[in-house]
Structure 1
């Protein structure tokens, strides 16, 4: 789940199947029951898949998704203005950053730094498409020290300059949950 609409759809899916949803947030649903039957899991998995979601019950995969959600929050919530990414993750996951980083890299064949760059590039695409900010403002919004740093990363990831991307009629964006 990557947006408020996603949360609403997932909540409805759970409730329509008879689950009492206690708490729901990006990437996580807490239900009142401690036990979910295999039949309920299959029904839930099928229903979620119909809406483009997946049921993650594996603890390692759930931990991996938790890291991704935190990184998304780090970028979108501008937490980089207060914390560096290692401190942010270590604090929120109550774990050593080195262990988090090793786990993430092993699970995704991608470093946290590279994943963070990809998130920022997708956010840049979104901000360009919205057309409210100029390139310098986008760089500031995403925590870059200067526009040339953003421009270089964007060109390396997308294969186009910021201006070339802006001038394309068909904005090609990657869904956040498909970045890795």
Structure 2
């Protein structure tokens, strides 16, 4: 069925707005656009699909055609959602969130993800968390203790230990140096 499309490299609210804009330019009616997924109101022709794919590619997005690519894309989108909307997941384990959200056994998801991405789900999750912490540090609106709380760490010390392991810097050192962040679609 061609009324649900999966899109690679959608990682933020601006991506959502960009994809919605492309759909409107293409005069394609949709019911929902979420990270990595478009639900169209009707099936589209091959010609419409090719045209949409060209426009998406111009802005760095890709249509996902293979089943395994759709699942890997779904894993990434869910992880980004977990990291950026942490409160919505009520202290559930990542494995539980992914299994429930994608309707696959976690061991199946880990094998598929590792094969496709040459890294584990946990490694990707840690990278996304690191980039979110960097972002929060750069905003300079929250203390390190508040960032730790927002990110689900029991203390600033645990956050600092994690951050140093991932970046080689303490959060306070990062705040002073502002080493460049990585784009989430490049992780």
Q: TM-score, normalised by structure 2?
A: 0.85
Give yes or no for the alignment of 1:91 onto 2:89. Answer: no
Q: CA RMSD in A?
A: 1.8
1:13 and 1:97 map into 2 onto residues whose CA distance is 34
Q: Deviation digits for residues 28-75 of structure 1, max 9, x if unmatched?
A: 1122333431x3333222211222222222221111111111111111
Indicate the residue corresponding to 1:22 in structure 2: 31
Q: TM-score, normalised by structure 1?
A: 0.88
2:29 and 2:143 map into 1 onto residues whose CA distance is 45
Count of residues paired in the alignment = 177
Question: Are 2:20 and 2:33, in contact at CA under 8 Å, matched by a contact in 1?
Answer: yes
Aligned counterpart in structure 2 of residue 136 of structure 1, from 142, 145, 154: 145
Task: Summarize the alignment of residues 73-88 of structure 1 with structure 2, pairs less than 5 Å apart.
Answer: 73-78=81-86, 79=88, 81-88=90-97
Give yes or no for the alignment of 1:63 onto 2:71. Answer: yes
Indicate the residue corresponding to 2:156 in structure 1: 147
Greater length-normalized contact order (CA 8 Å, ≥ 6 residues apart): 2
1:41 and 1:35 map into 2 onto residues whose CA distance is 6
Give yes or no for the alignment of 1:46 onto 2:54. Answer: yes
